[in-house]
Amino acid sequence: MTMPTVTRVRRTGVDAPTPSRAFLLGLANTLVSKLGTIGIGIVLARMLGPSQFGTYAIAFIALIAILSFNELGISLAIVRWPGDPREIASTVTTISLASSALIFAGALAAAQWFADAMGDASAAPVVRVMAGCVVINGAVATPAALLQRDFLQGTRMVIDQVNVWLGAVVSVVLVVLGTGAMSLAIGRVVASVAAAVLFLRYSPLPTRLGFNRGKVGPLLRFGLPLAGSSILVFAVGYVDQIVAGRMLGSVVLGLYVLATNLANWPANIFSQPLRSVAPPVFARLQHDPSQMREAMLTLLAVVTAVVMPVVTVMAGTAVPLVTFVYGSEWLPAAEAVVWLATFTAVKVLFELVYDYLVVVGRSGLILNVQILWFAALLAALIAGATVAGLRGVAAAPLVVAVLAILPVYLVILRRHGFSLRALAGRVWLPVAVSVPLFGVSVWFASSISNPLLAVLAATFTGCVVLTALLLARRADLATVRAWGRQKEGAR
């Protein structure tokens, strides 16, 4: 079947896609998507309980592991490519689809072994179903990258909403019918198929297979180190869940996964829209290193101002928050939320540095950092699980990030022209304000017996702080809008 040709129309004026408009659309998209995901996640967690939730988590870990390298890291080359993306689009599609098909076959064969290794043999069928998303993801890697490159977050918003809500409806219906953890896997595959159809339909370029031998070498030289780094990013991001499941059991894994999901709310809702804009902004400024550094500092300031108050309130109100949202059955997860919410703030800043280094072509350096991070984190997690159980596993990522990885990233940024004073000048105020905000949040949590009222009181205080920080950074927000006007004027 031949896909219809998509004609690109260059838009100008108020309707043209710009970084600032892309951020606003991305924020709206993420807010709606994540609020929907959060809502359905709450329903499913209450219906499934920690044990079944842990079974699904095993399959989800397997899927994320595969998706970290399934298209060999080359799709991001489309976002970064300084010339016409038509030069590489069909080659990227061919490589992505072929590698995804091979990896899917391997996942089917290894599903039982992985489930056994994670201590839940019943998870193998769920792993196999979830693996179907791998081929789907590979097929649409190019259209998704093109949408990001062209700041078409409005189109992406429609696709993401279909993905979220279709998957949610299918999953809930199947849970009600008694399908258990498999419900979430089937819902994910059905939604991925629907989203893939939309990606192909609205791709800025026709989606075609092709193979340009002259482009394969540069693509693989760019993508393979990045794929290796992505594998380590996965390992760093999910080794805690693997250790929790292996050492503490599937029930604790369910508790830990829920705590992780809860702690990631701020990053998912507020920082991801900015990060979706960051790579193309950096790419368009790569001819001017000083402008790239200023863009990095601007995004760092805005992300910190938004995320710090949110994670601080979450950490301070962990007990009433978990009790109100998920119920008393999930209360043990609160002790993990305190540590994981704090770690979220650090992780968001690291991810922004990651995006910057990718665009400047230092994917090999990123790989070295991830190797160090993984080695240090694995040792800390094992020690934490042995000494303090769930709390120890949750504390390990924060300890390693602050003591081991932060100094390394600061050295790297200095070598790329950033001064420590400039970096500190963009983050010190949100960090300083978070200390008293945490104390106030803890006081609300301990002095107000009603969990909902305690959370609302702390949230209101956090919103006041967040608004004040954004007002203090209004010059940075204006800079983001200026990028959009300058780039549109240059087209």
Q: What is the mean pLDDT of each run of 10 residues along the chain (491 residues)?
A: 38 51 61 71 81 81 75 70 73 85 90 84 89 88 81 77 87 88 90 92 80 74 73 80 86 89 80 68 80 88 90 96 90 95 91 85 80 93 96 96 95 91 93 96 96 96 95 80 51 45
**The residue count for the chain:** 491
What integer pLDDT is reported at residue 38 of this predicted model? 74
Whole-angstrom distance, CA of residue 433 vs CA of residue 443: 16
Are both 386 and 425 inside the same structural domain? yes
Are both 92 and 196 inside the same structural domain? yes
Q: What residue type is assigned to position 401 of the chain? A: A
What integer pLDDT is reported at residue 352 of this predicted model? 87
Q: What residue type is assigned to position 101 of the chain? A: A
Range of the domain at 46: 17-211
> Angle, nearest 10°, between helix axes 289-316 and 250-263?
120
In a domain, 223, yes or no: no
Q: What residue type is assigned to position 427 of the chain? A: V
> Angle, nearest 10°, between helix axes 19-67 and 318-326?
80
Are both 365 and 285 inside the same structural domain? yes
Are both 404 and 323 inside the same structural domain? yes
**Phi-psi category of 73—alpha, beta or left, where left has phi over 0 and alpha has psi -120 to 50?**
left
In a domain, 375, yes or no: yes
What integer pLDDT is reported at residue 250 of this predicted model? 76
Asked if 335 and 391 count as a contact pair (C-beta separation under 8 A), the reply is: yes
Whole-angstrom distance, CA of residue 201 vs CA of residue 471: 40
What integer pLDDT is reported at residue 151 of this predicted model? 67
Are both 258 and 393 inside the same structural domain? yes
What integer pLDDT is reported at residue 3 of this predicted model? 37
What integer pLDDT is reported at residue 491 of this predicted model? 45
- Total-model pTM: 0.76
Q: Which two tokens stand for residue 35?
A: 């609020």
The tally of domains found in the chain comes to: 2
Got the DSSP string for 134-191?
HHHHHHTHHHHHHHHHTT-HHHHHHHHHHHHHHHHHHHHHHHHTT-TTHHHHHHHHHH
The distance from CA 200 to its chain's CA centroid, rounded to whole angstroms, is: 23
Are both 189 and 275 inside the same structural domain? no
What integer pLDDT is reported at residue 29 of this predicted model? 63
Asked if 219 and 91 count as a contact pair (C-beta separation under 8 A), the reply is: yes
**Phi-psi category of 178—alpha, beta or left, where left has phi over 0 and alpha has psi -120 to 50?**
left
Q: Which two tokens stand for residue 328?
A: 């008393």
Q: Please give the C-alpha separations between residue 282 and each of 217, 292, 354, in angstroms, as whole numbers.
A: 23, 6, 12
Are both 194 and 257 inside the same structural domain? no
Are both 156 and 258 inside the same structural domain? no
In a domain, 78, yes or no: yes
Are both 205 and 76 inside the same structural domain? yes
Are both 467 and 356 inside the same structural domain? yes
Are both 71 and 191 inside the same structural domain? yes
In a domain, 311, yes or no: yes
In a domain, 365, yes or no: yes
Whole-angstrom distance, CA of residue 433 vs CA of residue 429: 6
In a domain, 4, yes or no: no
What integer pLDDT is reported at residue 433 of this predicted model? 96
In a domain, 384, yes or no: yes
Write the burial class of residue 345 (CB in 10 Å: 0-12 exposed, 13-18 middle, 19+ buried): buried
Are both 202 and 253 inside the same structural domain? no
What integer pLDDT is reported at residue 275 of this predicted model? 63
In a domain, 488, yes or no: no
